[in-house]
Amino acid sequence: MSASVSLRANTGTDAGTESSAITGIDFISADNATNSLANRQANPIVIPVTGQHYSYEKWLTLKIDEAPDNEITNVLFWGPDNYPAGTEVYCGVTASGATPTEEGSTVATSKADTGAIETNKLTWDTGPLTSQGETTDFLVLQLEVESHASPGNWAQHTFYYSYDEI
Amino acid sequence: MPENNPYILEYTTDGVKETVYLGMQPQWLLEHRERLDRADIISLIPKEGVSLPPLTVLLEKGQRWVYFKRTYKITEGPSIALFCLGWQATVEGKNVKSLNWIYPDGYIEAVEEPVRIHELLKGEG
């Protein structure tokens, strides 16, 4: 069979509540797996007068819905190489779940606009992943908002992932 | 026949041709690895009715086979799968690779890392 993989958001204590398959995430001031305009409007991130404000971390995994013939390896993640002025996305990977925070992340500490881009993809999981139901390590993302950010909706940004299968 | 398994993997070891029906033989690597590691010819052959090119790689002494499928996914969008077939070898202590990437439309790139895929992912290809 050929592998089938889906993206999941993990919320709550120790990032222990796994969502159903998702296709997008919201960087917001709440810990949920919803992806909608209403969710973003209900949970905005306030632009700080000084310093930074952060979204809740997003704890993401890829889950094997259908097993590969043999194994999945070399799971990579990347996205845009620039974000709107006054905003920054941070990223990181960990094997251990922790409760998402809206303080500055201790896992998502690399700037995504240099550390997770087309020419420098972030290694999400080296694998091997072999079985249905197995998940990757956690990819943790967090949006930072600075005082000179513009108010209003952040434009949609596209992220990518890839994996090798044999 | 699943569309995402368009190829048969064929290889020849000690003059004997072996066939792997990709996507239809779970754990085939366990059975084939020892002979595959000694193969001198390895091919991807399109299954019947599939309009993709066949690709054959001749392996010289010291060259090790490389085969895998790489799936690219946009968070909100389709996935694109490339098939990679080639070889790698250790030359003067360095890992040297020669890889061929087959795109869903039959386009082949002979590069270490695929390039055109990024245009396709951005909808520009």
Phi, psi of B2 (to 5 degrees): -60, 135
Domain total for chain B? 1
Give the pLDDT confidence of B18-75 residue by residue, as tens digits.
999 998 899 999 999 999 999 999 999 999 999 999 999 999 999 999 999 999 999 8
Average pLDDT over residues B96-109: 96
Q: What is the CATH number of domain A4-165?
A: 2.60.40
From CA A154, how far away is CA A132, in angstroms rounded? 36
**Domain enclosing residue B79, as ranges:** 7-121
Residues of B with CB under 8 A from a CB of A: 2, 4-5, 22-30, 67-77, 84, 118, 121
Query: Nearest CA of chain B to the CA of A98: how many Å?
Result: 23
Rg, chain A, Cα only: 16
Chain center to CA of A148: 24
All residues of chain A having their beta carbon less than 8 Å from the beta carbon of residue B5 are 2
From CA A100, how far away is CA A46, in angstroms rounded? 18
Which one of A7, A23, A118 has the shortest CB-CB distance to B118?
A118
Whether ipTM tops 0.90, in short, is yes
Give the pLDDT confidence of A119-140 residue by residue, as tens digits.
999 999 999 999 999 999 999 9
From CA B96, how far away is CA A2, in angstroms rounded? 29
Q: Which residue's structure tokens are 């087959």? A: B102
Q: Is residue B46 part of a domain?
A: yes
Question: Three-state SS for B86?
Answer: strand
Of A63, A7, A55, the closest CA to residue A32 belongs to A55
Determine contact, residues A26/A40, Cβ cutoff 8 Å.
Answer: yes
Q: Is residue B1 part of a domain?
A: no
Tally the C-alpha atoms within 13 A of residue A136's C-alpha that lie toward its C-beta. Answer: 28
A126/B contact by beta carbon, under 8 A: no
Give the tokens for residue B111.
């590069």
Alpha-helix runs per DSSP H in chain A: 37-42, 112-115
> Is the pLDDT higher at A140 or at A1?
A140
From CA B64, how far away is CA A121, in angstroms rounded? 26
pLDDT band at B1 (very low <50, low <70, confident <90, very high): very low
Which one of A7, A69, A162 has the shortest CB-CB distance to B71?
A162
Q: Is residue B2 part of a domain?
A: no
What pTM does this model have? 0.94
Distances (CA, A) of A42 to A29, A32, B57, B94: 9, 12, 57, 55
